[in-house]
Structure 1
Amino acid sequence: MSNSAHHTDYSSIAALVAEVSEAEPASVTPKASLREDLGLDSLGIVELVTIIRERFDVTIPENQADGVLTVQDLFDRVNDQPSDGFQLTQNGSPS
């Protein structure tokens, strides 16, 4: 089994954030706050994380999803995923 991490490019994440937040793509920068800058509320962030989980086939534990504040945070969580079938459970332990 491979031990390499999952990798999704930033432009794919940024495009999805722009789509879900209905923000101008140019305003989706790494430091942009999902709430203050892009106007997502709690439900919008849950929707975004759910779409990312499905579209990019990654598992973002609930305790990590709560810490997603910026576009860069989201990108980092998505790319901190193993690509060999290993996934984290909601409490962050291996499954």
Structure 2
Amino acid sequence: MSHDYKAQKAETFESFEAFAADAPEVAIITYQFYPEDIDANWDGVQKALQDRGFRTNRDDEDELLDAMIGPLKISADVIWQHEKIATEIALKFDFTPDGWGLLEE
């Protein structure tokens, strides 16, 4: 089954609009992904994301991968632009997107 980027983009824009008035002007964007398989290729996905400019972190239980980029000037378009790149990479390694957040510097 192919990934529904159109629905993901719509959800990102809807989520951003819900708090746009309170969003920081500049922030680090963190995208979260979870592995679909117990034998997920954590090293491969992290290297591929890092090669595209993301910093990565995995939790101690290997349940969640964070891919961070920025600080960037924040808008729904900027969030989506990097989310799509990170998602395309993560899906190749059987990781599924699980949202995003902003960390003000």
Same fold (TM over 0.5): no
Instruction: State the TM-score, normalized to the length of structure 1.
Output: 0.36
Q: Output the TM-score relative to the length of structure 2.
A: 0.34
Which structure is richer in relative contact order (CA contacts within 8 A, separation 6 or more)? 2
Structure having the larger proportion of residues in strand: 2
